[in-house]
Structure 1
Amino acid sequence: MKTSRSIKYILLILLYPIFFRSYAQNKGDEDKDMFNTPAKRDQAAIKEAKNGWWTSSVSNKAERIKWWKAGSFGMFIHWGVYSMAGGVWDGQAFGGYAEHLMRIKKIPREKYLTFAKDFNPEFFNAETWVKYAQNAGMQYLIITAKHHDGFAIYPTAFSKDYSLASTSFRRDPLQELANACKKHGIKFGFYYSHAFDWEDPNAPGNDWDYNNPGGDRLLGGREWYDSHPEWLPKAQKYVDEKSIPQIKELINRYHPDILWFDTPHKLPLSENLRILKAIRAIDNKVVVNGRLAGLNNFNFGDYFNTADKPAEFYPFRGDWEAIPTTNESYGYSQADSSHKSASFLIQLLAKSRAKGGNLLLNIGPMGNGKFDQRDIRILDSISVWMKKYATSVIGAGASPLPIQNWGVTTLKNDSLFLHVFQQPTDGKLLVAGLLNSIKEAKVLGGSPWPILKQDQDGLWLSLAEQTHDPVDEVILIKLSSPIKTDSLRRLDNNSNNRLLAFDGVLHAEGFKFGDGKRTQYFVGNWTKKEQYISWPVKQTGSKKYKIWIKYLAAANSGGSYQVKIGNFDQTFEVDANSSRKMLEIGTVSLNDGLQELSVKPKSITGEELMKLYEIVLEPIK
């Protein structure tokens, strides 16, 4: 089934189908499935929540998340004692998330504490940090109060030695940031690692000092609390004596607008719900993200989160937030130079808003309190774009228009915003599917835009003899009445048409989405012959195209597949040698009118057929 952009928010229950579940990773930097699989032990906690405190807490949810939905764009900050190392330990750079220093290098607790004593960010300036966020158009800021290393970067009354009190820094950076955010009208909150703590002898995660479950050795398995319930009281002691007390401390001391949690699967759902219940008992106005307490098809938080570092977005229902970072690490890494371009991140922001999601862009400041110059350049470039076009993303959401080949669209009241990433080569831009009349078209904040015509396919604009923003040109369309559209995608006769598997119609249950990273934007778990993917499109006039396909053929993949559109109907073998390559498979001549492209299994000889990224129709000149 295909998720409609117009699906209404469902009160109380935030659902996305089980067959949309993403792929899991059980150890390392990131686990892709940030939810619990409930056991018998959890049922009483679920029942208590749904029949009592949680359902009561939902009564003001719409008001609670109103600012967050309007905010649209925020700054995520990963900063702690690990920032001093910057991805280098004992003179050698290491890969992975730099904030996972303690786990990756298996540093003993006492040695890490000795290292932490040198934390003294002399250049930290809350005003400077908040101004970076404000200039970039960000409306909220979230910083790590305690990451997985268990080290609180504020003066806590709990686990004092593993906190700012054991460093050379004698200020409270969280209070200074809270004050600066309030001064500049930025909403403020904390990331808190509630389920993963490498210093506490009772918490999941540290298997090099304590032989605790939840670490890379997978002692007891991913759901260790199910296979070894006798270990659970130890983790509950951590929740009672550190996790809940510190969360309450953060709420009562700093009065955050939002709390952001992570890795819920390290604890059973019953414990995660106990933490959420404690939060709601003292603050029912604070927004809570989707990585505290949730199941595969149900979330007790206020919204869903994507996986880390997305490049494409699979369909979500309800409210959601993406969490890209400027390079490949969340904490500062001097060795990681894989920074994305500002244009990539600006377009990612527009894409997220076009699909109804927020974007929380991560920055990893250095251990001395400064932002990396590479990050500053990115933020400065975003700031330039936002000064012109902020209104097209902040507070704007998804429009019901079909996918546009040149970019994406956002909508705010009677204002339709066209985010043009790719200029049509013939100088004519079709706003496909727009049926109602308009008042005007103009460059956002600029001069009127020439209108060529409006017909059954939509609105045609002239791009000839216009100057263009090479990153994301925003054209404002003022509507004369509530937007009216058809949902059918039009093929572009002059430029490549990317038909992403994420955007296809999924037939039969069982499919799973990849997590959306640059190499993971596929649809997989293709295990049954009745499963197939299709894209309904409309061809204007007659045109000949080359057909390209891109898929991932893993070791367990195998079989044959049929690609069909118009008079093209051919079958191909899944080829491991063609994995992750754009493979030309033929040409097709399409006549004017409705078309459907489909990819169907003919045989499945492996555990799955393949993982499909996309089909591309390239016009033949």
Structure 2
Amino acid sequence: MPESTASTEWFETARFGLFVHFGLYSLAARHEWVRSREAMSQEAYDRYLERFDPDLFDAGELARAAKAAGMRYAVLTAKHHDGFCLYDSALTSYTSQRAAGRDLVREFAEAMRAEGLRVGLYYSLLDWHHPDFTVDVHHPLRDTPAAREPRDMARYRAYLHGQVEELLTGYGPVDLLFFDFTYPGKGPDEWGSQELLAMARTLRPGILVNDRLGVPGDYVTPEQYQPDRPLERDGAPVTWEACHTLNGSWGYDRDNHEYKDPALLVRMLVESVACGGNLLLNVGPTGRGALDPRARQTLRAIGDWMALHERSVRGAGPSGLTAPANTLCTRAGRRLYVHLLAWPLRHLHLPGLAGRVRYAQLLHDGSEIGFHEQDGAGHEHVNMAPPGQPAGTLTLTLPVTRPDVLLPVIELELADDE
């Protein structure tokens, strides 16, 4: 198998991406696993196929919303577990092209590139529509006579590989491929994972492929879980991306109102960067293809914060410091960023930074922050410095009033030799 020639530099610089789950399940509006959860027959599920009309799906508007939110790449569900394809596949008629006369993958890829965003495609390894995908614990027909029908995974595997080849050869440069997923009973042998990975790297040298083929990929993908420390494999750091929903459902879920607050999402983004990772934030367009008002509002709120604080996450990474309580720290070159999860009264103490900082400011408005230093002999360099701090402590003097931003950030300019 060809070795990966992929560079993760763009990925680790971008730090923030958009995930888009859209398909027939969006019309059901009750989770993307609706067909499996309700053990729905193909005939029953096809009522959504007959009514699929994404008249409000505007890839250009989606790309502009992602860019304004501070995202620099996006991933679309080219095919989800139900087997419905959002592109014009020559291998099946179960497509958006046949249902609605539109190749949504092409629209998506072209729109993202037009806004300067990197293009990622999600492809489900499962397929509940294909007649040769063997019925298993996740399949909607698991408790029906179909579970005993003979099926040929070799034929399905050829179909799977053929569809991935279509996506990698028919839609221009694809920067990222998000496979989903491997589980007991369906693994590398069933998917032909080594061959699939080799094909992707041959057809698109430099592509990043995730870790869900059951073999090592270029980056790992914790889902609905927020790491609180850098991720490692065999003691070495790995490239990673946490993927999260707005409300617990990947597909449009009309009656689910458990939305994460924009401030929490910003905190999750910063926490990812502070631990050396990315955040891929999902939206599930409605059955007509539009973003619902809550999703639009959330993206705008995050974008307002990113407009002022982008450099604390874009191109940044772990600070290498032990962050004080109620803070998250990131670093980009000689700039250290302290994100304040709780606003302190007047003073913030930063152990070990005395003598290492040239200038301090609030990032959102560029207003200077005064500071005091405790030298190695315990002497205060400036009168009125708070007593009782250990040697080497840098103490910042903050305004009493918390800035009106989702997450206040202090930018510290480090000395030239840092």
Shorter-normalised TM range:
0.7 to 0.9
How many Å apart are 1:470 and its aligned residue? 5.1
Equivalent-residue separation in structure 1 for 2:346 and 2:224 (angstroms): 34
1:463 to 384, 395, 398: 398
- Between 1 and 2, higher relative CO (CA 8 Å, sep ≥ 6) is seen in 2
Kept in 2: contact 1:108–1:208 (CA 8 A): no
Kept in 2: contact 1:76–1:362 (CA 8 A): yes
Task: Give the 3-state SS of the residue equivalent to 1:236 in structure 2.
Answer: helix
Aligned to 1:57: 3
Alignment of 1:216-295 (within 5 A): 234-240=152-158, 242-255=159-172, 256-265=174-183, 267-270=186-189, 271-294=192-215
Aligned to 1:316: 231
Task: Give the 3-state SS of the residue equivalent to 1:143 in structure 2.
Answer: strand
Aligned to 2:381: none
Equivalent-residue separation in structure 2 for 1:321 and 1:153 (angstroms): 24
Relative distance call for 1:120 and 1:249 in structure 2 (3 A) is same
Kept in 2: contact 1:421–1:470 (CA 8 A): no
Aligned to 1:93: none
Aligned to 2:266: 346
Instruction: Mark the runs of 5 or more structure 2 residues left unpaired by the alignment.
Output: 233-237, 376-390
Equivalent-residue separation in structure 2 for 1:447 and 1:118 (angstroms): 55
Q: Does 1:134 align with 2:54?
A: no
1:70 to 13, 31, 36: 13
Relative distance call for 1:187 and 1:205 in structure 2 (3 A) is farther
Q: Deviations over 1:408-431 (max 9, x none)?
A: 01000111111111112x321112
Kept in 2: contact 1:436–1:479 (CA 8 A): no
How many Å apart are 1:284 and its aligned residue? 2.0
Q: Does 1:159 align with 2:78?
A: no
Aligned to 1:477: 412
Kept in 1: contact 2:40–2:140 (CA 8 A): no
How many Å apart are 1:406 and its aligned residue? 2.2
Aligned to 1:375: 295
Q: Deviations over 1:559-605 (max 9, x none)?
A: xxxxxxxxxxxxxxxxxxxxxxxxxxxxxxxxxxxxxxxxxxxxxxx
Q: Deviations over 1:330-384 (max 9, x none)?
A: 1010010000000000011000000000000011110111101111111111011
Equivalent-residue separation in structure 2 for 1:379 and 1:210 (angstroms): 34
Task: Give the 3-state SS of the residue equivalent to 1:478 in structure 2.
Answer: strand
Equivalent-residue separation in structure 2 for 1:325 and 1:114 (angstroms): 26
Task: Give the 3-state SS of the residue equivalent to 2:170 in structure 1.
Answer: helix
How many Å apart are 1:282 and its aligned residue? 1.8
Relative distance call for 1:216 and 1:210 in structure 2 (3 A) is closer
Q: Does 1:415 align with 2:335?
A: yes
How many Å apart are 1:182 and its aligned residue? 1.1
How many Å apart are 1:257 and its aligned residue? 1.1
Aligned length: 391
Kept in 2: contact 1:78–1:144 (CA 8 A): yes
Aligned to 2:235: none
Instruction: In structure 1, give the amino acid aligned to 2:319.
Output: S
Deviates more, 1:382-391 or 1:262-271: 262-271
Relative distance call for 1:454 and 1:172 in structure 2 (3 A) is farther
Kept in 2: contact 1:106–1:208 (CA 8 A): no
Equivalent-residue separation in structure 1 for 2:285 and 2:139 (angstroms): 29
Instruction: In structure 1, give the amino acid aligned to 2:220.
Output: F
Equivalent-residue separation in structure 2 for 1:356 and 1:208 (angstroms): 33
Relative distance call for 1:472 and 1:269 in structure 2 (3 A) is same
Percentage of matched positions with identical amino acids:
31
Task: Give the 3-state SS of the residue equivalent to 2:251 in structure 1.
Answer: coil
Equivalent-residue separation in structure 2 for 1:360 and 1:274 (angstroms): 27
Relative distance call for 1:324 and 1:386 in structure 2 (3 A) is same
Q: Deviations over 1:169-225 (max 9, x none)?
A: 22222111111111110001110002x11111222456698966xx999x89xxxxx
1:86 to 20, 29, 33: 29
Alignment of 1:157-196 (within 5 A): 157-160=90-93, 162-167=94-99, 169-194=100-125, 196=126
Equivalent-residue separation in structure 2 for 1:126 and 1:469 (angstroms): 32
Aligned to 1:432: 351
How many Å apart are 1:137 and its aligned residue? 0.3
How many Å apart are 1:253 and its aligned residue? 0.8
How many Å apart are 1:236 and its aligned residue? 2.3
How many Å apart are 1:290 and its aligned residue? 1.6
Equivalent-residue separation in structure 1 for 2:140 and 2:327 (angstroms): 51
Equivalent-residue separation in structure 1 for 2:220 and 2:355 (angstroms): 33
Aligned to 2:379: none
Relative distance call for 1:124 and 1:85 in structure 2 (3 A) is same
Aligned to 1:398: 318
Equivalent-residue separation in structure 2 for 1:113 and 1:410 (angstroms): 49
Equivalent-residue separation in structure 2 for 1:243 and 1:68 (angstroms): 26
Task: Give the 3-state SS of the residue equivalent to 1:99 in structure 2.
Answer: coil
Instruction: In structure 1, give the amino acid aligned to 2:338.
Output: L
Instruction: In structure 1, give the amino acid aligned to 2:133.
Output: A
Task: Give the 3-state SS of the residue equivalent to 1:254 in structure 2.
Answer: coil
How many Å apart are 1:466 and its aligned residue? 5.2
How many Å apart are 1:264 and its aligned residue? 1.7
Kept in 2: contact 1:189–1:258 (CA 8 A): yes
Relative distance call for 1:171 and 1:432 in structure 2 (3 A) is same
Relative distance call for 1:216 and 1:383 in structure 2 (3 A) is farther
Alignment of 1:195-210 (within 5 A): 196-205=126-135
Task: Give the 3-state SS of the residue equivalent to 1:261 in structure 2.
Answer: strand
Aligned to 1:147: 80
Aligned to 1:366: 286
Equivalent-residue separation in structure 2 for 1:158 and 1:70 (angstroms): 37
Kept in 1: contact 2:15–2:313 (CA 8 A): yes
Instruction: Mark the runs of 5 or more structure 1 residues left unpaired by the alignment.
Output: 1-52, 88-97, 221-230, 484-621
Q: Deviations over 1:103-144 (max 9, x none)?
A: 111111233234212100111111110111000000000010
RMSD of the alignment, in Å? 2.4
Relative distance call for 1:173 and 1:276 in structure 2 (3 A) is same
